[in-house]
Chains A and B, each alone.
Chain A
Amino acid sequence: MVTETVQVAETPATSVDRRQAARQDEEAWQVTRRHGPTSYYGLPVLKDPRWGWQIPVYFFAGGLASGSYLIATMADLFGSREDRAVSRAGRYIALLALVASPVLLILDLGRPSRFTHMLRVLKVRSPMNLGTWGLLGFGIFAGMGILRQWVEDGLVSRSSALARALGWMPLQVSGVLGSLLAFFVGSYTGVLISFTNAPIWAKNRLLQGPLFLASALSSGISAVTLWLTLAGQSNPHTERWMKQLEDTVVMGEAAATVGTIATLGPLARPMVAGRYAAALWLGAVGMGNVLPLVLRRIEDSVHVGARRALRIARGISSLTGSLIFRWVDARLAGPAIEDPGFYFAFTRGRD
């Protein structure tokens, strides 16, 4: 049993103290009168979920796995011989990211040993439940992809039971199904956070998913390019279509960001002014999109040796920016949740 001594305010001894106490009382009354009708002492209404760093990092890892797998599968299904390296790189990156993802999620749980409870039910109205099943399914298909890669690389013999079991599902079928699940895993986290009452996320319900998907594809492209550069396997043919795709994705990301700010309106204030604004514009947008594009322009006009270094820098910058974006988006909800004015304005704007 813990007993605590409760501090009791001492009665003011002198008349000066009493006057000061009376003035403080009066100030308290004034504060109450100001805050009275608009909120209860300015205390927060909504509660912050207080997710740890594992959650934004998982958003990044899940997106990375999704983007890499999609690039790999598209290259495998529709690409040419030169794109085989892309397929290989994407599959390995997806595997690494997918091994990390459930570890991150389990670590953030209040009771990590009960993580299997997520699979007790299938609840279509709970994005977190759907996401758990989606992650499981995606993991299976990514595992199949890696198995195919190991067969191709000769690590698993073609006549083994595993390879033959793989043959039961044609490449096209597993590619399409896996891609559907990859699209889901890369974007459902955005929809998940918009299914809460946090004003920044909930008001942006239309664009939160597309925003996360664009970021996932962008990090997938960057990671595959970085891998190919480091392994010395990049070739002009692959580079061309990956650069074209990167342009499209960056445009999509920019459009989603602009749309987000337009949708949020006054609620977008923490995005442009506040402690996360610098991280958002310098880190997420600057390092994530602007710097890589600038480096790409420079890359075409320098000699080959520096080109490799620039490409590596481009990849690292883009991936870091993507990670910062996830972190900022998770943290941005904090001010919106803690300020009752925000939440009441958000609720009053509805029917």
Chain B
Amino acid sequence: MSERPVLPAADGQTRQGYSGRIASWERSGPGYNTEPPPTLNESLTTSGFRIEPGTAYGFFTDTTVCIGCKACEAACKQWNQLPMDDLGFTGRSYDHTTQLSATTWRHVTFLEQIDRDDSTRRWLFMSDVCKHCEEAGCLESCPTGAIVRTEFGSVLIQQDICNGCKYCVPSCPFGVITVAEGLDNTAHKCTLCYDRLKAGMEPACAKACPTDSILFGPVLELRRVARQRVEELHHLGVREAYLYGLPGGPGATGGIGSLNCFFLLTERPEAYNLPPAPELPSRRGSQGFLTTAASALAYGAATLLAIRAARSGRG
């Protein structure tokens, strides 16, 4: 893995997390911690990047380094207190989550592959997540304005506003979002750990990943790292490595712009159930309004003619 840029710590502190000072029972006021979050950016230590609002952050998921341990799935579930999925054996390699949903915001795909002469077997892993598109289909379609762009460039569903209309579900070109039916009946998806970002901590999955397959950082920086990695892989002979989600590349077509959470893949996107050329639904849908208006004019004219013909025919 090429060297990750390490920025010097700004204030010299090495402790992570909250300062731990709890209001004692002797003091008046609430019995829980009311200290403001520390100014230390924990993310600086764990990911190498300081988190500041106003920059677009995302993930670079390098599938060539993923070991399929599912620490990302577990960390995501634990941090966001998501309910358990059905633990049946699916018979699909080690994948017992099978897809992203309202209760699964990180999903590791397991791809077992045999070569034509049965000689080499490849076992590919990819940790799928919400792509936090630059132009998001879910964001555009949401009629209540519950889905918004945060100050960190991520796409967030405000849970107190969503009324579960389910329109965002088919609008996502990647099939990420669903509504938690039977639970709270609103739409859920990866929040890029918005609460952690506001506290200066990198998302749970990126922190938990033992091989740094999931890298968190500013999107522009991550793209630089990713391009270096692809070049390195090509030198090593892994010529099928490519990036999915860069501007103009696969995964970022059709008006989506680019994906803040992009991937390095070594197989066609369809193999991972990623669309090779997704499109923002609204991009060409407006033509439908025009044809509808034209047909409305036609029917209006036809009605008028029919009524007039009947009047003049009678009189």
Contacts and interface: CB of A to CB of B under 8 A. Distances in A.
A195 B161 CA distance: 22
Nearest to A115: B163
Contact of B253 (A49, A114, A245, A350): A350
Nearest to B273: A40
A214 B295 contact: yes
A130 to B, nearest CB: 8
A210 B291 contact: yes
Contacts of B89: 7, 9
B272 A49 contact: no
B91 interface: yes
A75 interface: yes
A47 B130 CA distance: 13
A195 B285 contact: yes
Interface stretch (B42-50, B228-236, B274-282): B274-282
Interface in A1-28: 2, 4, 6-7, 9, 28
Interface stretch (A93-101, A183-191, A276-284, A297-305): A183-191
B213 interface: no
A205 interface: yes
B15 interface: no
A120 B292 contact: no
Contact of B271 (A37, A47, A70, A110): A37
Nearest to B126: A40
Q: Max chain B CB contacts within 10 Å: which of A6, A190, A350?
A: A350
Interface stretch (A137-145, A267-275, A341-349): A341-349
A196 B307 contact: no
A78 B282 contact: no
Interface string B79-101: 00000100111011100001101
Interface size class of A (residues with CB under 8 A): 35 or more
A191 B292 contact: yes
Contact of A45 (B169, B273, B304): B273
Given A6-B87, A121-B145, A198 B254 contact: no
Interface in B1-49: none
Nearest to B279: A350
B270 A37 contact: yes
Interface string B153-183: 0000000011111110111111111110100
Contacts of B112: 29, 32, 36
B173 A190 contact: no
Nearest to A129: B143
Interface stretch (A147-155, A226-234, A236-244): A236-244
Nearest to B83: A2
A115 B167 CA distance: 14
18 contacts: A32-B113, A39-B271, A43-B273, A46-B172, A47-B175, A48-B169, A50-B179, A74-B304, A108-B165, A111-B162, A128-B165, A194-B285, A194-B288, A197-B278, A206-B288, A245-B306, A340-B270, A350-B254
